[in-house]
Amino acid sequence: GLYSNDDKCVSYTYGPDPIQVIDCHLPKGPFAPTVAMIFFGFKIVVCNLDYRSIGNEGIYPNTFYDAANGTDLIRTIAHEHGFNSDRVIVVGHSAGGQLGGYITGRFRLRPDQPGYSTDPFRPIAFVSQASVNNRWDGCDQANETGSGAVISFLGGTYQMYPERYLLSSLAASSNVSVKFV
């Protein structure tokens, strides 16, 4: 592992691009609850999901597929290493926070939407840090939000692609039955 407190760090791939990887940091001793994060944790199982970003084919819909495929893999990792995948908290920062929101609301996707699954990974809570969870506001404030990153990621404005903006703002929508911080 990266730190002396780690029992081990195990990497898994979920796609053909070298960046499509989850690093699982497994602490020594009995496992506590699991957190899916974009950074390292201590004394908890941490599954660090990396994904393709802008400039590496990480535009709509590819990044959604990465987030969906990567988090679905957590159940397999949990089975392999003996931790509980039914009580996972997703924590995301910036773009990772937006993807955490997408994962949190993914159970509501239709079959024609990116990342749809009949049995998607479902976190019990979602912590968003410095992210744009309401993408249509991010589009309106494009100059203040990542220098137009929202528009670049989704391929256009809300007026051009309202469905993409709604899809990328699932946690900000109603009827999401998880704790949202």
Q: Where are the domains of the chain?
A: 6-180
- List Cα–Cα distances, 121 to 85, 106, 146, in angstroms: 9, 8, 28
**The CATH classification of domain 6-180, taken from the options 3.40.50.1820, 3.20.20.70, 1.10.760.10, 3.90.1150.10:** 3.40.50.1820
pLDDT tens track for 116-174: 999 999 999 888 887 776 655 655 555 555 567 778 888 888 889 988 888 887 665 55
Position 1 confidence tier, pLDDT thresholds 50, 70, 90: very low
8-state DSSP, 98: H
- What percentage of residues in the chain have a pLDDT greater than 90? 24
Q: What's the pTM?
A: 0.74
Question: Which pairs from 151-160 meet CB under 8 Å and 24+ separation?
Answer: 152/54, 152/59, 153/54, 153/58, 153/59, 153/60, 153/63, 153/95, 154/59, 154/60, 155/59, 155/60
> Averaged over 67-78, what is the pLDDT?
94
